[in-house]
Amino acid sequence: MLRAAAAQRLRRAVSVLRRSQSTLVVAEHDNESLTPITLNAITAAKRLGGEVSCLVAGTSCDKVASELSKVQGVAKVLVAQHDVYKGFLAEELTPLIVETHKKFNYTHICAGASAFGKNLIPRVAGKLDVAPVSDIIEIKSPDTFVRTIYAGNIICTVQCDEAVKVFTVRGTSFEAAPVSGGSASVEKLTPPPPVGISEWIEQKLTKSDRPELTSAKVVVSGGRGLKSGENFKLLYDLADQLHAAVGASRAAVDAGFVPNDMQVGQTGKIVAPELYIAVGISGAIQHLAGMKDSKTIVAINKDPEAPIFQVADYGLVADLFQAVPEMTELLKKK
């Protein structure tokens, strides 16, 4: 009886706490469209239970702001458009976020754990004098988060006692928020004066017609076993049959077979597709950290002792130069 009353009081206290949460999600975009990981971050933000606002800063924000205003669960879209946000420099975005925080007093500030989020969010935390939390995979309560350490080999639950919780969200650990059904208000912000200590010069993006690696449903990855960059064509052909993205191990990147932005692993991208096909990849700890949450893992390797077979749901001990073209041909037939 007493215990029931205490539990009820606790529940009420928690719900009061939840209602007073407010979260700012820093939207990642390219001035044309929203980067998908932002939708995963919005789902994480909704899990906190309070109001969710999104900040769009860039040189051209109208399209992205209108896209965001329709995302389910977003209450408010804040827009800061200015030429100073060219290249999304952390030095320029941080004062804007700090100003926005001063105005609205958030309990949580977050972004996706992409190169953009990882670069920006700790700087924001530094300015707010709080310790940030990186790459969370679960929210237990508004102050308790789960993340992985040691290349995904250890799961760590942390309690954050900071006044404002500043964190990045692992995209593959949260569903994407639905892109329709929302009706957020849109509000313009006045950008603070430019800082001017950094300048964006240029970018060289890897062009590809295949789906984006971190959000693809199927990923085909190659390792040192491919032997050359030309041989990756075998994987591209297979990927085309499966509408898959193509990834790589660090060994394949270091050997110059493919560009670094294709790397899957602790130091590259974290993926969790429905199907991950590892071809000619031994399965070093570093690589497993980036893909072991995939729903189904297939390994094709001629070494039966390769560690990748310990995590593979289906393992085929075979020469990839025969198995991969055969697979492509069989897929073409059906």
Partner 1 sequence: MAALRVLVGVKRVIDFAVKVRVAPGGAGVQSQGVKHGLNPFCEIALEEAVRLREAGAAQEVIVVSLGTKASQETLRTALAMGADRAVLAEVAEGVTAGPKEVATALAGLVGRLQPQLVILGKQAIDDDCNQTGQLLAAMLDWPQGTFASRVELDSGSVRVQREVDGGLETLRLRLPAVLTADLRLNEPRYATLPNIMKAKKKPLEVIPAADLGVPGGSPRLKVLQVQEPPPRAGGEKVENVQDLLGKLRQSGRI
User: Is 209 a binder of partner 1 (CB under 8 A)?
Assistant: no
Pick out residues in 15-44 that bind partner 1 (CB under 8 A): none
Phi/psi of residue 90, nearest 5 degrees: -60, -35
Return the number of the residue (83 or 274) whose C-beta is nearest partner 1: 274
Could you say whether residue 312 binds partner 1 (CB under 8 A)? yes
Could you give the 3-state DSSP secondary structure of residue 288? helix
The two tokens of residue 171 are: 């995209």
Strands 108-112 and 22-26, sheet pairing: parallel
DSSP 34: B
Closest CA to 262 of 253, 271, 272: 253
- Angle at the Cα of 216 (from 57 to 116), degrees rounded to 5? 25
107 is a contact residue toward partner 1 (CB under 8 A): no
With CA atoms as reference, report the closest residue to 85 among 198, 221, 169: 198
Question: Closest CB to partner 1 among 187 and 313?
Answer: 313
Pick the closer one to partner 1 by CB: 80 or 120: 120
Spatial distance between the Cα atoms of 70 and 59, rounded to a whole number of angstroms: 21
Site pattern 139..168 for partner 1 (x: CB under 8 A): -----x--xxxxxxxxxxxxxxxx------
What's the closest the beta carbon of residue 227 comes to partner 1, in angstroms? 20
Does 327 bind partner 1 (CB under 8 A)? Our answer is yes
Residue 222 annotated as binding? no
Beta carbon nearer to partner 1, 4 or 161: 161
Annotated ligand binding at 277? The verdict is: no
Structure tokens at 199: 């300048």
- Going by C-alpha positions, the residue among 37, 263, 36, 18 that lies closest to residue 168 is 37
Segment near partner 1 (CB under 8 A), from 56-64, 102-110, 192-200, 220-228? 192-200
- In the complex, the smallest distance separating the C-beta of residue 175 from partner 1, rounded to whole angstroms, is 19
Judged by CB under 8 A, does residue 248 bind partner 1?
no
- The angle that helices 232-242 and 320-333 make with each other, rounded to 10 degrees, is 30
Closest by Cα among 141, 140, 139, 121 to 131: 121
**What minimum distance in Å lies between the beta carbon of 50 and partner 1?**
21
Q: Are 167 and 132 in contact (CB under 8 A)?
A: yes
Of the candidate spans 12-20, 49-57, 204-212, 224-232, the one that interacts with partner 1 by CB under 8 A turns out to be: 204-212
130 lines the binding site for partner 1 (CB under 8 A): yes
Annotated binding site: 224, 249-250, 263-267, 280-287, 301
Annotated binding site for FAD: 224, 249-250, 263-267, 280-287, 301
